[in-house]
Amino acid sequence: MAKENACCTIPLPEQPMDCDCCPVAPLVGCGLVTGDVFVHRYGMGDEEGGSGSDGEGEGGGGGGSGQGGAAAQRAQRGAGPSGAPPPALSAREALRRRGKGGASCRAVRFAADGAGLVCGYESGSLQLLDLETGKLSARLPRAHGAAISRVLCLDAAGPGGGGGGGSGGGGGGGGGGGGGGGGGAPALLVAAGDEDGGLKIWDLRAPSTSGAAFSYDKHGDFISGLTERIGGGAGGTGGGGGGGGGGNALVAVSGDGTLSVHDLRKLQPVARSESDADDEMLSAVVLKHGRKVVAGCQSGVLSIFSWGYWNDCSDRFPGHPESVDALVAFDEDTVLSGSSDGALRVLGVQPNKLLGVVGEYAAGTPVERLALGWDHRVAASTSHEAAVRLWDLSCLHDDSGGEEEEGEEGEEAVGAAGGGAREAQPAGRGGGGGGESGSGSGSGSDSGSGSGSDSDSDGGARKRKRRGERTRMTKANNKPKTGGNFFADLL
């Protein structure tokens, strides 16, 4: 397995319960078991400190410095000699808010505009922390009757509105893109799940007396993951998995082994999967442009659902030696997983394949939460320690440094490299599906035929260049597969 390679470890006073990365700036937020909330700004080299005080850039202003940091990072990688180590990540504290009442902060998510941090507490309360002032801009003291386990900031385009950017994150992933409603101040729609299986949707910028916009109580155990499908409609049982038109949908997974789908345009439930009491669902993400939902399970299996067919999963991706506690979508075909064995893995979905291991904790230390940075070059994670760790994901990007720049015409060299990757891709992935993998249909059916996998592959043809280079760059972490367990040689 890969060496422990957290490029930055941020010490905290107590153990964090959750973490999230800002979608527009290099910020990571954490909620602690004491109820305290911390926000840190990270960057390469000296860039994380900036030139201002801790109070600067905690809201929307942080986006500008984040853009510059990413550009400098790419320039340093490109200009340096081949094989030179990338500049080290570092972080500084940008904001701290003390908890009151002794309730732990169980869940945190940044608002899509980066101006606020939503916090869910053990007491059942929801709070919106203004990152510019460091003060609460909204508070719902009795939002839930049980401890809040997950929160997710939803796309707020409203009925008939266009979807926001980005894909939703589940179990530690990020929220969807922001949008304005009609007239007046834009809504801040937040989905929150609790330890009793309750699920509610709130508008934190509406008066606190208005109550929940939506409530659902059919889950029999804690809500373990929330993710959003942007656009395409909810699609009921037996419906197609098409991607165009319609509103957004919320997907919730629970410790009772079920998955539920909710139409955010109509604010009503659509479907719920059959119960699997033997395997808890702990995390979830939406992939394949809304055609697939991937749920991480207690058994170490990834259950893959085709959109519109919710009775049971259409494909299973086994291999994790322990539970899959966290999932985030890197792109439409790739996820990062955090497991109880302490490893952070990169996985291709349909065709199902282990692409590499980006880092690991010490033996016996689980990955509890996982979040993806605003530019997808850094991942944040928490475990059973008083710290949050940042991991370098530069190896998953197309920046191959001097290899492409050695040619006399850089653009032509890049184009040639991309063409080579596309030609080599089908052969490279042909044998990667062993066992039960790669059988799910990309067209939204449960048939599990080979043609279904082909349709998924065709739909993601534009991504093949990135996938090909990413696989090549992480091949040191890949081992020859000797059986149906993709990770057997990593144990």
Assign residue 71 the CATH number of its domain.
Answer: 2.130.10.10
* Angstrom distance (rounded) from CA 108 to CA 21: 10
* Angstrom distance (rounded) from CA 318 to CA 233: 29
DSSP code string of 28-68 = EEEEETTS-EEEEEEEEGGGGT-SS-TTTTSSTTHHHHHHH
Cβ-based burial of 81 (10 A; exposed 0-12, middle 13-18, buried ≥19): exposed
Q: Is residue 486 part of a domain?
A: no
The total number of structural domains that make up the chain: 1
Q: Is residue 293 part of a domain?
A: yes
Residues 256-286: tens digit of each pLDDT: 999 999 999 999 999 999 886 678 999 999 9
Q: Is residue 178 part of a domain?
A: yes
Across the strands, what pairs with 191?
152, 201
* Angstrom distance (rounded) from CA 143 to CA 125: 5
pLDDT at 49 over 60: no
Other Cβ atoms closer than 10 A to 415: 13
Considering only 17-21, 235-239, 241-245, 339-343, which range has the smallest mean pLDDT?
Answer: 241-245
pTM: 0.71
Position 277 scores a pLDDT of 64
Residues 416-459: tens digit of each pLDDT: 333 333 333 333 333 333 333 333 333 333 433 333 333 343 44
Q: Is residue 189 part of a domain?
A: yes
Q: Is residue 415 part of a domain?
A: no
Other Cβ atoms closer than 10 A to 411: 9
Q: Is residue 435 part of a domain?
A: no
Q: Is residue 472 part of a domain?
A: no
280 lies in which domain range? 6-77+86-396
- Residue whose pair of structure tokens reads 């808890």 in the numeric block: 280
Tokens of residue 20, six digits: 């999230």
Q: Is residue 459 part of a domain?
A: no
Residue 257 identity (one-letter amino acid): G
Residue 369 identity (one-letter amino acid): R
Question: Contact, 42 vs 51, CB < 8 A?
Answer: no
